[in-house]
Amino acid sequence: MEPKSDTRRFFKSLHAFGERKQAATVDMARNVAGLLALSQQEELMDLPNHSPLSTSEDEGDSDGERKSQKLLEAVSSLGGKSRWKLAERSEATLGVSEFNVTSDGSGEKLVLSDLLESSTALSSLAAVRKQLLRVKSKTLAIPLDKKEADQILREAAFSKTAQVLSKWDPVVLKNRQAEQLFFPMEKELPAVAPVEHAFTGWKTRTPLEQEVFNLLHKNKQPVTDPLLTPVEKASLKAMSLEEVKIHRAELQKTRALQSYYEARARREKKIKSKKYHKFMKKGKAKKAFKEFEQLCKDDPSAALQELGKMEEARVLERMSLKHQGSGKWAKSKAIMARYDLETRQAMQEQLAKKRELTQKLQVVSESEEEEEKCTEEGIISASDGMNDLQMNAAGVNPWMLRSCNSSAGRGELKTDPEQLPQQVAGGFSVGEEDERPVAEELVLKERSFQERVEPNSAKPMGGQEAEVSSDCQEEVSESRVLLQKLHKENDQSEQQNVSSVGTVLQIQREELAQEESLVPQRLERTHVLEEQGELGKEGRCQKKGHPRPMLKGEWKKRNPHSVLDVSRREKKDQMIDLQKLLTTRSPVKSLAVPTVVELKDEVETDHKQIIKEAFAGDDVIREFLKEKRETVEANKPKDLDLTLPGWGEWVGMGLKPSAKKRRRFLIKAPESSPRKDKNLPNVILNEKHNILAAAHQVHAIPHPFTHHQQFERTIQNPIGYTWNTQRAFQKLTVPKVGTKLGHIIKPLKAENVGYRSSSRSDLSVLQSSRKRLSKKQQKQLKASSAD
């Protein structure tokens, strides 16, 4: 009796085990319900039936027969069909098992293979064997740990929910950016019956109506929104036959052209002759040059754009190390250059090219045009030196100019013609190592443009020229005017002239000494001497008190000799020195200084000097002075003219109010107190700044704004009724959020924003998902929720 109960207990425990497992899986199945397919779920439910299979071995029971019977049952239960057949196969033997499978006495465990061994003998058991084998191969993986399974479920559910929520993104964004929102949001739609409904009750009565209706129906005329019949729509979409033909022909033609072009390009690419490519390059360069010339004539603005491109190319060239002797080719040549003249020349050519490519572009200012006018009036004699210098500077890098000048010394006129052709040759000859024809073309264009713009201009074109401030240029032009006058006046004695020129010289020397400009000192002097000579020959002279109404500023204080001074300065490529700009230094004082200055020998350009030249363009002090002058002008109180034309007088085009009237209604500005920075040359004091107002002003740009102009614009646009019309005022002051007192604002609904709300309520979804679970599982769920 005891063993019997034992086995029962065992099977009970087996059963319990299976059930617990079932519980786990059921739990899982419940969770998966929304995610997994139903079939999968069924599979999971089937699983526990197989489970006793692997656990049935370990039983130390004496009652072998019963045990084996049970085992058989368990085994046979695996295959549904043969199970009953096997059960029937019992014979009336005395408790002797026909299979003899007891492990009693042998002390070994019963293994499944032992059972299967006997089945091999019997052909009738083949089906069972097969099934067993199949079961073996189908062993399922161990189910996931509950924790992990839950996590997977949660993640899946979360991603699903996030997806559902993301449909609200555009709504939220729209509401946040809305200019104005009015709550409650639900609007009662006005009940307007659609047209179809209106038509249903309609019946045709008169024959005319019938005719019309017949027509409409025959053409399938739609009544509502799309007013075109299907046929009309199709015809609108379709192309006419001719159009299609033309279109096709065009396509064919373009395709053919493309193929021709490709074939040609391929052919040309195959040509290996260097000479050919060289010629092609040259041809291209020339063509570009011509095109640019044409462009200059036709469309100056486009030409300017081209120039801009050239400038860019120049900048690129300056940044790159090309043509600088660092390349492979250049290095190889550098070794040979010592012995071979040709290679040396090639190297030099390359360097020249670099120079050209990096040469800065000239910007033509208005004052130059003025000068052009002057020269065209017939003043040829405006100092040879100027012309020379201009020609010299026109095409050459200012840096190189310096060295050339210093080395060439006096023979300045000679160097010019030499230099120019050389450059031109350099410009036109295409180097063998040339890798960037584009840049070259650009340079060519640039040069031609320069020549075009000022064919006979009489102005130096140094590198700094472009940035020279306008009043300086005015002075230059003024000097020219004066020179003209000098031409005309012939009645003064030579003696005077000489003396005046002498003083000029003195001034210059003194200034030179002060400025310590070492480079072209001697050069300049020779210039001046030449000029003097010319002046002397022509018998020109200069009055001491010559009227010069056009000169202004500090130049007014100077005596007339400064004219020459100016022209000389002009020749120095508009080199600006700090001292000459300072107002504290008066010309009278300079006159008083003794005039003994040693002539210095030719000096090589100093490093300092070079730097000075390099930054000569950034004319800080002159700009500052100009700025100061402007602020002083702007802050001066101005006269108030209250004259109203048309009162007591005739008025119209070309008529002005009478002088008397103007005088009568002109309110003169009161004399302001002297400025605080009057005696401080290096300071601009802002007298308008009000400390009391500063307390009311915003000091930093507030957060949403990125630029102070944005903020100022918002502040400067008035929104009040004083400045805006009624309608505009209402629009500007509409509140961002509007609500009504006592009106309940409900939370956002999908229907309100045009989304389809889920038709089923949450409760029904919840219940339906629960219905999917079996009763048994529900019971377990309850049990699990209870504990």
Amino acid at 716: Q
Q: Which of 13, 49, 151, 294 binds another protein (CB under 8 A)?
A: 151
Of 191 and 691, CB closest to another protein: 691
Of 455 and 747, CB closest to another protein: 747
Q: What is the dihedral of CA 326, 331, 337, 340, to 10 degrees?
A: -130
Spell out the alpha helix ranges (H) of 226-340: 230-237, 241-270, 274-298, 300-319, 328-336
Tell me how many helices (H) and strands (E) the chain has: 37, 4
Of 81 and 708, CB closest to another protein: 708
Q: Which of 219, 232, 714, 779 binds another protein (CB under 8 A)?
A: 714
Amino acid at 264: R
Q: Find where tokens 């036709």 sit.
A: 298
Q: How far are the Cα atoms of 688, 704, 708, 712, 716 from residue 700, in angstroms, in the given order?
A: 20, 12, 9, 12, 17
Of 244 and 745, CB closest to another protein: 745
DSSP, collapsed to helix, strand or coil, labels residue 667 as strand
Q: Does 165 bind another protein (CB under 8 A)?
A: yes
Q: What is the dihedral of CA 627, 629, 631, 635, to 10 degrees?
A: 180
What does DSSP say about strands 737-738 and 181-182: parallel, antiparallel, or unpaired?
Answer: parallel
Of 226 and 718, CB closest to another protein: 718
**Smallest distance from another protein to CB 150, Å:** 8
Phi and psi for 667 in degrees, rounded to 5? -95, 120
Q: Which of residues 625-664 bind another protein (CB under 8 A)?
A: none
Q: Binding marks (x or -) toward another protein, 177..216, rule CB under 8 A? A: ----x-x---------------------------------
Q: Does 716 bind another protein (CB under 8 A)?
A: yes
Up-side HSE of residue 379: CA atoms within 13 Å toward CB? 23
Q: Does 291 bind another protein (CB under 8 A)?
A: no
Of 378 and 702, CB closest to another protein: 702
**Smallest distance from another protein to CB 166, Å:** 7
Q: Binding marks (x or -) toward another protein, 33..52, rule CB under 8 A? A: -xx-----------------
Q: 638 Cβ partners below 8 Å, 6+ apart? A: 669
**Smallest distance from another protein to CB 716, Å:** 6
Q: How far are the Cα atoms of 324, 354, 426, 427 from residue 337, in angstroms, in the given order?
A: 15, 18, 19, 22
Q: Segment contacting another protein (CB under 8 A): 55-63, 166-174, 376-384, 657-665? A: 166-174
Of 146 and 287, CB closest to another protein: 146
Q: Does 153 bind another protein (CB under 8 A)?
A: yes
Of 189 and 741, CB closest to another protein: 741
Contact 397, 355 (CB under 8 A): yes
Spell out the alpha helix ranges (H) of 516-601: 521-538, 554-557, 562-571, 578-581, 587-592
Q: What residues pair up with 737 in beta bridges, in sequence order?
A: 181
Q: Does 692 bind another protein (CB under 8 A)?
A: no
Q: Segment contacting another protein (CB under 8 A): 113-121, 164-172, 421-429, 586-594? A: 164-172
- Report the run of H or E that residue 691 belongs to, with start and end: helix 691-694
CA–CA dist 785, 181 (Å, integer): 46
Q: Find where tokens 């002046």 sit.
A: 535
What does DSSP say about strands 666-667 and 640-641: parallel, antiparallel, or unpaired?
Answer: antiparallel
Of 77 and 643, CB closest to another protein: 643
Of 34 and 421, CB closest to another protein: 34
**Smallest distance from another protein to CB 713, Å:** 11
Of 35 and 238, CB closest to another protein: 35
**Smallest distance from another protein to CB 700, Å:** 9
Of 170 and 409, CB closest to another protein: 170
**Smallest distance from another protein to CB 631, Å:** 23
Task: Give CA 433 to chain center in angstroms.
Answer: 36
**Smallest distance from another protein to CB 692, Å:** 12
Contact 626, 553 (CB under 8 A): no
Of 709 and 714, CB closest to another protein: 714
Of 144 and 719, CB closest to another protein: 719
Q: Binding marks (x or -) toward another protein, 94..133, rule CB under 8 A? A: ----------------------------------------
Q: Where are the beta strands (DSSP E) in 652-744?
A: 666-667, 737-738
**Smallest distance from another protein to CB 731, Å:** 11
> Total residues at the site for another protein (CB under 8 A)?
70
**Smallest distance from another protein to CB 570, Å:** 47
The maximal CA–CA distance of the chain, rounded, in angstroms, is: 168
Q: Quote the Cα angle for 547-550-552, to 5°.
A: 105
DSSP, collapsed to helix, strand or coil, labels residue 599 as coil
Nearest to 589 by CA among 544, 552, 557: 557
**Smallest distance from another protein to CB 727, Å:** 12
Q: Which of 16, 84, 111, 158 binds another protein (CB under 8 A)?
A: 158
Q: Does 557 bind another protein (CB under 8 A)?
A: no
Of 35 and 215, CB closest to another protein: 35
Region of 650 on the Ramachandran plot (φ > 0 left; ψ -120 to 50 alpha; else beta) = beta
Q: Tokens at residue 97, please?
A: 């098992």
Q: Where are the beta strands (DSSP E) in 594-733?
A: 640-641, 666-667
Task: Give CA 781 to chain center in angstroms.
Answer: 61
Q: Which of residues 723-782 bind another protein (CB under 8 A)?
A: 723-725, 729-730, 732-735, 737, 739-750, 761-763, 765-767, 769-770, 782
**Smallest distance from another protein to CB 577, Å:** 46
| Chain contacts with another protein (rule: CB under 8 A) | 30-31, 34-35, 150-151, 153-155, 157-158, 160-162, 164-166, 168, 172, 175, 181, 183, 695-699, 702, 711, 714-716, 718-725, 729-730, 732-735, 737, 739-750, 761-763, 765-767, 769-770, 782, 785-786
